[in-house]
Amino acid sequence: MAGLTPSQTVGPFFHYALTDDHTVSELASPQTRGQRITLRGRVLDGEGRAVPDAMIEIWQADAEGRYDHPDDHQDRPRDPTFHGFGRCASDERGCYTFRTIKPGPVAGPGNTLQAPHILVNLFARGLLKQLVTRVYFAHEPLNDSDPVLGLVEDDGRRATLIANAEGDGSYVFDIHLGGASETVFFET
């Protein structure tokens, strides 16, 4: 067995290598199937201050719940116009924005079905290893039986994983690194 290479912080100076030229904030093309959404929010530290130097990466299935990955053997067609990866840097107000489609439900452990969700890897100066969370969508019937959401017992804490719809078709998902409304982060 080979020993793992440890994680180290992304630091404050990643933009010119990772996001200036290699941002992916538009995930859907005009041909992509599914409901267009804007996923946006702010990244805030434990004292409620904006985190202006975070990198947010997302990973999601297409509108049918298929991932663009060889290990997804679900018996349903994949949308070839959609790849499901996004990344961007937060701005000086801690804001991030992705334009994408709402993912479909994905198979879960056993015979479960996971509610529509988007995975998040968050990197920033100060973090020695990325933080992992998931974005779920308000009013999805499958949320009540989702096998991962169900692991978060406290209602208030579970609410930190739910993006709420705004009038303009966007879903807002703020990421609180600490404080009273600290977002649930996962150990994977």
Q: Does 46 contact other proteins by CB under 8 A? A: yes
Q: Does 17 contact other proteins by CB under 8 A? A: yes
Q: Do the bridges between strand 54-59 and strand 85-89 make them parallel or antiparallel, or are there none, so unpaired?
A: antiparallel
Q: Does 80 contact other proteins by CB under 8 A? A: no
Per partner kind, with CB cut-offs from 5 to 8 A, the member of Fe ion, other proteins, none near residue 31 is none
- Rounded-to-integer distance, Cα 94 and Cα 90, Å: 5
In contact, 146 and 136? CB cutoff 8 Å? yes
- The residue from 36, 69, 76, 93 that contacts other proteins (CB under 8 A) is 69
DSSP calls for 74-100 = -SS---TT---EEEEE--TTSEEEEEE
Q: Does 142 contact other proteins by CB under 8 A? A: no
Q: At 16, list the tokens.
A: 């010119």
Query: Distance between alpha carbon 83 and the CA centroid of its chain, in Å?
Result: 14
Q: Binders of other proteins among 143-172, rule CB under 8 A?
A: 147-148, 151-152, 157
User: Going residue by residue from 84 to 113, which x/- string records binding to other proteins, judged by CB under 8 A?
Assistant: xx--------------------xxxxx---
Strand spans (E) along 34-160: 36-44, 54-59, 85-89, 95-101, 106-107, 113-114, 117-124, 131-137
Q: Does 179 contact Fe ion by CB under 5 A? A: no
Q: Least Å distance between CB 91 and Fe ion?
A: 21
Q: Does 82 contact other proteins by CB under 8 A? A: no
- The residue from 6, 141, 156, 167 that contacts other proteins (CB under 8 A) is 6
Q: Does 12 contact Fe ion by CB under 5 A? A: no
Q: Does 31 contact other proteins by CB under 8 A? A: no
